Structure 1
Amino acid sequence: MKKFLAILLVITAVACKKQIALKPIVALNSYLVVDGSINVGDSSIIALSHTVNIAGKARSNPEVNATVTIESSGGSSYPLVSKNNGNYVSAALNLSVTQNYRLKIVTGDGKQYASDFVPVKNSPAIDSLGYAVKTEGLQINVNTHDAANNTHYYRWDYVDTYQVRSQYESKLIVVNGDTSAFRTAEQQIYNCWLNDTSGTINLGSSAKLAKDVISNQAIALILPTSEKLRIGISILVKQHALTSDAFNYFDLLQKNSDQVGGVFDAQPSELTGNIHCLTNPAEPVIGYITAGAVAKARLFVDNENLPGTWLPDLSYYDGCSLITELYDYVPPMSGIVEHQVREYVYTGIETPVDTVLNPKLGVISARPRCVDCTLRGTSKKPSFWK
């Protein structure tokens, strides 16, 4: 049996979705992956990367040196700015619904790519978001409809924000590397907020229904043991209206992602998108560009409304313990003074938590990951947080 070196397709968009693994391509090439959409009335975010060798160490390969523009059928051009991580962002654009638009890309090695011109297809509003407690976890549902009966094909992605809490609350902060003081409320590192993005392709269609209505469409499932549910979670859902061609592309992409490794699965080479390499027309390009206004809605779920039997996996804090460090410590039989606070706390090896019974003796500390939640997220409470 022949052995093939597989290429793992990875779609990476920091602001849009997690990595989505596709069935390996039997090839050695590094193909361009384009993820994102042209957003009417808001900024557009396009993520560029290249396929990577599944046998290699690299898990992602962002394209950071490209020139990216949005072009209209009327001849206008709108540049996107590189964020140096593979993401390219435009200013908020009030694009005309009467024109078609495409994406133009010149990569760092000089290759030129362009999408087909696509029509503007605006999403109707999201009617409501809801959730359901299932045996397998917390299910997030979306409801929407188009009274004009013109949409029929939908795609959703989301960003969830959740609160985490350190194992220990630090009351002290190191000042100038040689002393400690009590933390102010603004300096707290006990409560933080993290963001995560949807890692699946979520599609819905009303094409076979009498009315253009989507009811209780499941778009996310959060496991009962997820730390996201420990305190509370806020989910921002974005709804995209698709053409039938775009829906068929993402539907095949979804099936390919769900069935990685099957002998009879659809091959990525069959994923015919609407982006082409102008420099080499035979070169595959992974991605499909759409254009339109995106509908958004937010849902907050408090832990108090979830089953008390759902316990979060807090293995991140495994091995955490409190340590007492003294300013001056003389080990038995040694006679040599050890300055434990200066050696372990002031250097950042440990993070101070509190003073010992006598503040002049020393401090109680722990490893930074057990105390400092800013190692994982931001301590600034989001404006939308309830």
Structure 2
Amino acid sequence: MKINKLIYITLLAVIVSCKKPYNPPIVSSDNHYLVVEGVINSGNDSTIINLSRTVKLSENVSTQLVANYTVAVEGEQGNSYALQSEGNGIYDIGPMHLDPSQKYRLHITTPDGKQYASDYEVVKQTPPIDSVGFTPKSNYLQIYANAHDATNNTRYYRWDYSETWRFHAKFQSGFIVDAGAVRLRHANEGIYYCYGNDKSSNIVLGSSEKLSQDVIFQGPITTISSDAEKLELRYSILLKQYALTKAGYQFWENLKKNTEQLGSIFDAQPTQLQGNIHNISDPTEPVIGYISITNPQSKRIYINKGQLPDNWIEKYPYECGMPDSAFFFHPMTGTNDVLFYIIQGGGIPVTGIFTPLGIAGYTYSSPDCADCTIRGKAQKPSFWIDN
């Protein structure tokens, strides 16, 4: 036993002594490679393509948007559909109702004449989403999707989603500062109930390649912590489903490994991304992106607080003590605390402080605790359905 311990200690010392810091050099190339994001919608909805350029690590921006490009969807038989520039690198076109028997590609021309094009791709038919469901776990909510293709032609799936939730501030403000005075807050000036939103930033994939039937059963979409503000009152998720070719699936799978599954010795090693978009005159130039052609399917569900475990308690995102008090005339100091703390913007009035002689002041709190609009919008979204 002593020998084993000695060998272990010796090996540990050798391993530790062999560790040397490695600081890789920062790539200083001036190349700004084209990044193409989006899906060519073959059905009855719009096609939206986002174009940008990569930036160096040393630059103080996260992305470089592009403008004045010419973008079009082209069919093998010569038909073409021009996309409109909306600014900020966004190019779009309304429903094209593409012929599923044809192949199509995306064609891009830069202001200086460079031309990029994706490979001609088949139109993949995306089957409807059967259902979106959820399962409460010990300390999180698991959201999943069910889908199938009776023809067994899909096999490869990708999902993205947008989330919306209704929440409220810690304290409800019944008063508002208007023209240098405090008055009652009108119904349309409420800052207690708000709506937050977010979009998926992770890559969600599913495959039935190894199954005899083309079925996705409870494919995991996302998880939400049990104490998240998203689950405070009412939560909604709009899920979109895309059919992929095998090559498209492999691109997204490699992108997921390179961006989400690195960090430990057991994770997959990074691989070079091989998309289907190329510089026509210089195939060696890297271009980032993969263009698929399909008719995305979508489904929205709502989840109410009452559908979740009773012991799940929402954690308010800010530390909020009880509201402070501000008086028109402070009996100890003789100061006008309402003027100083509320009218001059030091706090948001919450409730009135009443005496037999009338109102003597107000309780107040910080915007973090009394104004939900600092992290959401008070206006109800057009699609929102209440209980």
SS in 2 for 1:210: coil
Cα shift at 1:96: 3.1
Shift of 1:344: 4.1
Correspondence for 1:151:
154
CA RMSD of aligned residues (A): 2.8
* CA offsets 1:195-230 (integer angstroms, 9 cap, x no match): 111222111112222221111111111122322122
Cα 1:113/1:2, change in 2 over 3 Å: farther
Unaligned runs of 5+ in 1: 8-25
User: SS of the counterpart of 2:306?
Assistant: helix
Distance (Å, rounded) in 2 between the aligned partners of 1:57 and 1:312: 36
Q: Percent identity?
A: 38
Task: For 2:136 and 2:64, locate their aligned partners in 1 and report how far apart those are by CA, in whole Å.
Answer: 38
* Contact residue 71 and residue 91 of structure 2 kept, 8 A: no
Change in CA separation of 1:55 and 1:321 when aligned onto 2, cut-off 3 Å: farther
- Tell whether 2:327 aligns with 1:326: yes
Partner of 2:81: 77
| Rounded Cα–Cα distance in structure 2 between residues aligned with 1:4 and 1:31 | 21
1:366 has 2:365 as partner:
yes
- Cα distance in 1, alignment partners of residues 371 and 60 from structure 2: 30
Specify the SS of the correspondent of 1:37: strand
Determine which of 343, 348, 353 is the counterpart of 1:351.
Answer: 348
Residues 235-271 of structure 1: CA deviation (Å, up to 9, x unaligned): 1110001111101111111222232245784435x11
Cα deviation for residue 124 of structure 1 reads 0.7
1:5–1:27 contact (8 Å) kept in structure 2: no
Partner SS for 2:122 = coil
Contact in 2 for aligned 1:70/1:101 (Cα 8 Å):
no
Partner SS state of residue 281, structure 1: coil
Distance 1:110 1:378, change over 3 A: farther
Within 2, Cα distance between the matches of 1:109 and 1:166?
51
Aligned to 1:20: none
Please give the secondary structure, in 1, of the residue aligned with 2:131: strand
Measured in 1, the distance between the counterparts of 2:379 and 2:347 equals 23
Alignment correspondent of 2:384: 384
Residue of structure 2 equivalent to 1:254: 256
1:50 to 2:49 alignment: no
Larger Rg: 2
Residue equivalent to 1:21: none
Give the CA deviation at 1:27: 6.1
- Residues of 2 paired with 1:67 and 1:56: CA distance? 23
- Which range is displaced more, 156-165 or 279-288? 279-288
Q: Is the 8 A contact 2:177 2:343 kept in 1?
A: yes
Contact persistence 1:46–1:88 (CA under 8 A): yes
Q: Give yes or no for contact 2:54–2:64 (8 Å, CA) kept in 1.
A: no
Aligned partner of 2:240 in structure 1 is: 238
- After superposition, residues 157-236 of structure 1 pair within 5 angstroms as 157-175=160-178, 177-236=179-238
Q: What residue number does 1:115 align with?
A: 118
Deviation at 1:143, TM superposition (A): 1.0
How big is each residue's C-alpha offset from its partner over 1:75-104, in whole Å with a ceiling of 9 and x where there is no partner?
3222133243x4444334433333333223
Deviates more, 1:154-163 or 1:115-124: 115-124
After the TM superposition, which of the residue ranges 48-57 and 300-309 deviates more from structure 2?
48-57
Q: Following TM superposition, by how much is the alpha carbon of 1:384 offset from its aligned partner in structure 2, in angstroms?
A: 2.8
Q: TM-score when scaled to structure 1?
A: 0.82
For residue 151 of structure 1, report the CA deviation from its aligned partner: 1.1
Q: What TM-score, normalized to structure 2? A: 0.82
Task: Evaluate the alpha carbon distance shift between residue 249 and residue 376 of structure 1 in structure 2; reply closer, same or farther with a 3 A threshold.
Answer: same
Cα deviation, residue 153, structure 1: 1.0
Contact in 2 for aligned 1:320/1:367 (Cα 8 Å): no
